[in-house]
Structure 1
Amino acid sequence: MIRHTLGRLASTAVLALVLGLAALPMLWLATAPFDDSPGMSLSVPEFTMRNFAAILDNPYALSSIRNSLIQAGGAAALVVVLASLAAYALSRVRVPGRDVLLYVLLLLSSVVTGTAAMVPIFELATRLDLIDTHLGVILVVSSGLLPAAIFILKDFMDETPTSYEESARVFGASPLQILLHIAVPLVRPGLATIAVWSLASVWGGFLFQFILLRDPDKLPGSVIIYTLYTEGGAPKLDLISTFSLLYSLPVVLMYVFVSRRYGFRFHGGIKA
C-alpha cells in the first residue's frame, strides 16, 4: 500500500514537472509583450503598452494578419469541400483498389514533402501565373493537406449509418442532396477537425508563402515576423513577443470555440 502511494506521488510529481516546463514558454509569451524590456528569461514584467503601439505602427503587421486569414481561411474552406466530396465517394462507392489508393496518397503526401516538391511546384505556379497571388498559396497548400484530410474524414464517413441515406434515395434525393443534407450534418465534428487542422497548418506555414509571394502587402504574419529583427540579425524581443501573441490569438480562439462546441462528446454525428 505504501509502495503504491509513493509510486503515485512520484508519477504525479514528474508529471507536474513536465507540465511546468511545457508551460514556461506560454508564460513568457503571455508576459513578455507587456514588459518594457523583455529578455529570454521569465520575469515579472515592467508593465507597459508601448510594445502594442509599436506593432500597430508597423505598416505590415495588421495587414499580414488579414493576409493570413485570407490564405488560411481559403485553404481550410477548399480542403473541407474537396475532402468531403472525396471522403464520401471513397466511403460509399466500392471501387477496386480503393483502400490501396487511399494509403498510397497518404504515403506520398508524407514522403514527398513541400521542400522536395518545391521546384516543380514553383515552376507550375509560374506557368499558371499564380506567383504573388493569394490564390496560388491557397491552391498549393491545399493540395498538400488534402490526402491526410480525406483519410481522416473517411473514418467519420464510415462510422455514419447509411439507413438515412437509403431512405432519402427512395424518395428521389440526388447524391449531392444526400451529401449536403444527411452526410455532412452527421460528420460535422469531422469537418470541424479538418477545418481547424487545415487553418492551423496554413496559419503557421512559412516555406510556400515565402517562396510564392513577393509583394510585402500580401505576406502573411508567419513571414512578416521574420522582419522583426535588427540589421545585425538580433531579434527585437519586444516586437516579436507582442506580434506573436496577437498572431496566435485567432487560432487559439477558434480552437476553444470548436472544442466547446464539439469536444469529444460526438463522433460521426452520433452521441457517445
Structure 2
Amino acid sequence: MRDPRRISKITTYIILSPILAFFIAPILWLLVTPFSSRPSLFISFSTPTLENFVKVFQNKTAVTAFKNSVIISVGVVLLVTTCALFASYVLSRHYFRGRDILLYVLVLFSSIVTGVAAMVPIFILNLRFGLIDKELGVILTMTGGMLPTSIFILKDFFDSIPRTFEEAALVDGSSPLQVMFRIFLPLSSKGIIVIAMLVFAQSWSNFLIPFILLRSHTKYPVSIAIYTFFTEIGVPDIGMISAYALLYTTPVIVTYFLIERKFGFSFYGGIKG
C-alpha cells in the first residue's frame, strides 16, 4: 500500500521544482556567463575566460560609472544616517504637538518622493535649483526619499532605550548632545548599520532618479551605464553586460555578508537581547 505522506511529499517537490528553477536560473546565468567564451542569453558552459572582464575594465564609461556610483551611494548613506540620527533622537525623546502626525506623514510620503508619480515635480525642483546633471541633485533626491523610513526605523531603536540611562547621564552633567553620542549612538549602532546597508543597496541599484536627472555619460552610475554596452552594429554585448552585472552586484553582496558576519542581525529594539 502506498504511503499517502510520501506521495504528498513527492507531489510537493514536483510542484515546487519549476518555481525553484525559475529563481535559480538567473543566478546561475549571472555566475556562468561572465566567464564564458561564448556568452548568450541562455546558460551555456564553455571554455572559461576572463576576456569579458578585460573588456569591462578597458571601457572608460564602465570604470567611470563605478566611481560615480560610489560617490552617489556613499554621499546618500552619510547624509541619510546623519540626518536620521538627529531627527530620530528628537522625535523619540522630545514630545511636541503634532509629533505623531508628522511621523505618519513621513511614513506615508516616503514611498512617493522617489516614485514615478513624483518625477515631474522632482525634475522641476532640481531644474530651478540648478541641480540637473549634477551628482548633488541625485544625492539630495535619494536622501529625501529614503530619510523618512530611516527615521522611523531608528526611532524604534531609540524608543527601546530606557530613560533611566538618559536621566543618569543628565544628572552627571552631560548635555543632550553628549547623551546622544555617549548613550544612544553606542546602543543603537546596529540600527544605524542596518539603515546604512539598506540605503547603500537602494542608492547603488537606483536607476530612475539618475536616469531622469543626469545628462552626461561621464556622470552615469553603473545602473545606467550597463544599458550602454552594445557592439558596433548595435547588438547588446552579452559578455560585457554579464561581467559588468556580476561586478555591479558584488559590492552589495559583500557588504551584506560582512555586516551579517560582524553583527549577526539579532536585533531587539535598540539593545541586543
TM-score clears 0.5:
yes
Runs of 4+ off more than 4 Å: 2-17, 230-233
* Equivalent position of 2:33 in the other structure: 32
* Equivalent position of 1:43 in the other structure: 44
1:177-201 Cα offsets, whole Å, 9 max, x none, are 1111210111111111111111111
* Equivalent position of 1:103 in the other structure: 104
Consecutive unaligned residues in structure 2, runs of 5 or more: none
Following superposition, the deviation at residue 214 of structure 1 comes to: 2.1
* Equivalent position of 2:205 in the other structure: 204
Consecutive unaligned residues in structure 1, runs of 5 or more: none
Are the counterparts in 2 of residues 90 and 154 from structure 1 also a CA contact under 8 Å? Answer: yes
Q: 1:131 is paired with a residue of what secondary structure?
A: coil
Q: 1:116 is paired with a residue of what secondary structure?
A: helix
Following superposition, the deviation at residue 101 of structure 1 comes to: 1.7
TM-score, with normalisation over the residues of structure 2? Answer: 0.91
Following superposition, the deviation at residue 145 of structure 1 comes to: 0.7
Matches within 5 A, 1:1-272: 3=4, 7=8, 11=12, 18-111=19-112, 113-230=114-231, 234-272=235-273
Of 57-66 and 154-163, the range deviating more from structure 2: 154-163
Q: 1:242 is paired with a residue of what secondary structure?
A: helix
1:39-74 Cα offsets, whole Å, 9 max, x none, are 122222321111111111101111111110110111
Are the counterparts in 2 of residues 31 and 45 from structure 1 also a CA contact under 8 Å? Answer: no
Distance 2:272 2:159 in 1: 16
* Identity fraction in percent: 44
Distance 1:207 1:106 in 2: 21
Distance 1:266 1:176 in 2: 25
Following superposition, the deviation at residue 169 of structure 1 comes to: 0.8
Distance 1:97 1:217 in 2: 45
Distance 2:233 2:152 in 1: 46
Are the counterparts in 2 of residues 125 and 136 from structure 1 also a CA contact under 8 Å? Answer: yes
Following superposition, the deviation at residue 4 of structure 1 comes to: 5.3
Distance 1:12 1:263 in 2: 31
Following superposition, the deviation at residue 98 of structure 1 comes to: 1.9
Q: How many residues align?
A: 271
| Change in CA separation of 1:261 and 1:269 when aligned onto 2, cut-off 3 Å | farther
Distance 2:18 2:130 in 1: 52
1:45 partner amino acid: S
Are the counterparts in 1 of residues 158 and 270 from structure 2 also a CA contact under 8 Å? Answer: no
1:243 partner amino acid: Y
Following superposition, the deviation at residue 35 of structure 1 comes to: 0.4
Are the counterparts in 2 of residues 38 and 238 from structure 1 also a CA contact under 8 Å? Answer: yes
Distance 1:262 1:3 in 2: 44
Are the counterparts in 2 of residues 149 and 194 from structure 1 also a CA contact under 8 Å? Answer: yes
Are the counterparts in 1 of residues 112 and 145 from structure 2 also a CA contact under 8 Å? Answer: no
Following superposition, the deviation at residue 10 of structure 1 comes to: 5.3
Q: 2:111 is paired with a residue of what secondary structure?
A: helix
